Every structure is written in structure tokens, then in C-alpha cells.
Amino acid sequence: VIEEAQPAGNRLIILGDKIAPTPHLTAFVKNLKLENSLLDLGEQVKYAICSDSSEVATTLRRYQDDVKMVLIGPGLRGNGVTVARMLATKAHIVMIIDPRVNPLGADPASYAHVQANLEELDVILALTKDADEAFFQPLIKEYVVSGMLVGTDLESMSPEERAEMIDKRLDAVNTFPSLPDTQRKVAALDDLDPPKKWAEAIDEDLPTKTVILRILNSARYGFRSRVETIDQAVALASARTIREIVTACQIRQIFSKTSDGTIDQFWKHSLAVANFAKLLSLPADPGAQDSQQKTEFERFQLEEEQGAVLQEAKLWEKIDLGEGDDPFTAGLLHDIGKVT
């Protein structure tokens, strides 16, 4: 295992996986011990255990050239495919796949595309059932012990080769799913369109409709009568509010398809930023608010001192929002690159 003060020049393997007596990890450790037994003590290969994807990236940055191989296993918390794509030019990447735990994509239709893309980046892929001693032995010997260089060297690449590599990186993220039909229909609507048109765009999407009605019937909105239909919702809560709820609901459906274990934390953060972005874009001075802005501002239920700070800052005058700009959606998607 890696020591806190890793000497420069020691060869290192980053092990991104949950440590457990699984067959693939047993085979890996057994092979590494065998290779180390043939080396002098000062030349032996160490390995760093990382339980989540951020630790893998941090460890690679810290030890840089010492890292000869990164092993990504099914127990790694976070998106292993994203880690493999990001680090493929920095070290030899070996990814062990358990289709039940870390499949290559959200659905079978995307598996082949993701697999082809990773293989183009020289990522070695293997199923857990195939990751035995015979699998690891040549990898450890060639990639780590012999010091075989990682194939991509930007300094020595021709412009054409660099362009091809960039195309591969772009292709790696172009499979992010498009927004659902309901979101596209709502995005095409104008806030002044009649409630009936909004109902036509949303009514067929029962999950989204249910979420809208549940939120509007919550204590936060405090309507005197129960909201039963979408056209009622638009008339009572404003088209902008309905648009924000639909956007959040539809994007959350996309995120729910990822296997990333940190997605709930990411989603809570995104919602918080979205609401703060909306709050900071609203006029805090009652004299500068129209009726809709007044209602939306009051729903934040700020303390008097908090409202006074916002009035003094006058951020709504400094934020140059164009027609159609939506601070709520911008806040919701500000970290979308972390998911893609």
C-alpha cells in the first residue's frame, strides 16, 4: 500500500475499487506480490487504494509520472467510465466491468458505443469473470514493471493526430441523452401562451404532471383551493414557475439513469444553486417588483436582514439577463459537465 511520503520515482498503481476479497482483486494482488518478489526492496511497486473517483484523480495529480497504471473496478464510487476517459492520456487504464454493478452505459443500446470509444482511447476492458491471474500478469509486467510508456504524447503528435484525439474526446461525451419531449414542448411555449396550451404540452406526461400538482398543493404555495389541473396551475402559479418545475423534473429523470452513486448529492447541490440564481436575479426592492416577481420573492421567506442585504447589493440591476435567459435553469445545469 502507498505510504504517506511516497518517494519520487517509485512506480505506483492506483487501485480504484472497494477493497474486498473478490476474485479479480485477489488475482491482481497475487500477481503484484509475485513481481515485487523479483525486485529489490527500493524498486518494488506500490499501490494506492482509492474508494471514489475524485480520490483517483487527486492521487494521479499528486504522484504524476510515478503512476504507471490505474485499475478501475466495479466497487469504485462515482462514474468509472468518465474517470477512464479523463485519465487515458495520463496512465494506462484497466477497467474491470461487472454488468450488474458498473455497466458501460445506462442501457444495452449504448454499451457498444461506450466500449468502442474506450478501446479507441487504449483503455483495457475486462469482465470480472475474465480478470484472473493470466489477465493481470502481462499488464503488470508490461505497463508497470517494464515502464512501458503511455501512448499519447502531445509534444510528439502531429496536428492531424492531435485533431483525431480531440475528436475522440468530444465523441466520448456526445452520448448525453437529449431532453425529454415534455421539456422540449414547454421550452417552445411563451409565458403569455394560454394555460390550455401549457396543459396540452404537459398532460400526457403523467409523472411530470403529478410532480407539478404535488408541489403546487404543498404548504409553500398556500393556495386556498386545491390545484387539480395544469391550466389551473399555470393560472395560479405563473408560467415561469411551471417551466422551472418541468425543467427540474425532466433533468432529474435523465440523472436517474446514471449509475453514479453520488448523483443524489449532486442533484441537491444543483437545485440549491438554481434557487439561489433565481433569488439573486429577482428585484429585492418592492418598488421595483412586478406582481409575479413580488410573489416569487416572497416565497423564499427571507428574514428582514437578508432582504435588506439583497436590496443594498442591487444584484438584479447588475446581472445583465437577456430575453429568454433563465437563471434557474442555468444554476441547475452549471455543473452538468461533471455528470457527462
Going from N- to C-terminal start, the domains of the chain cover: 12-172, 181-339
Return the pLDDT at 4: 40
Return the pLDDT at 128: 93
Whole-number Å distance between alpha carbons of 89 and 93: 9
From 309, 308, 307, 310, select the one nearest 319 (Cα to Cα).
310
Question: Considering only the top CATH level, what class is 181-339?
Answer: mainly alpha
Return the pLDDT at 114: 84
Q: What is the topology classification, in CATH, of domain 12-172? A: Rossmann fold (3.40.50)
> In sequence order, which ranges of 181-238 are alpha helices (DSSP H)?
181-187, 195-202, 206-216, 230-237
From 111, 102, 47, 95, select the one nearest 77 (Cα to Cα).
102
**pTM strictly above 0.75:** no
SS3 190: coil
**CA dihedral defined by 57, 61, 67, 70, rounded to 10 degrees?**
10
Which regions in the chain score pLDDT beneath 50?
Answer: 1-8, 148-152
How does strand 92-97 pair with strand 124-127?
parallel
Residue with cell 448525453: 176
Return the pLDDT at 76: 92
Q: E-strand spans in 98-228? A: 124-127
Cell numbers that stand for 164 in this block: 483525431
Return the pLDDT at 15: 93
Whole-number Å distance between alpha carbons of 48 and 58: 11
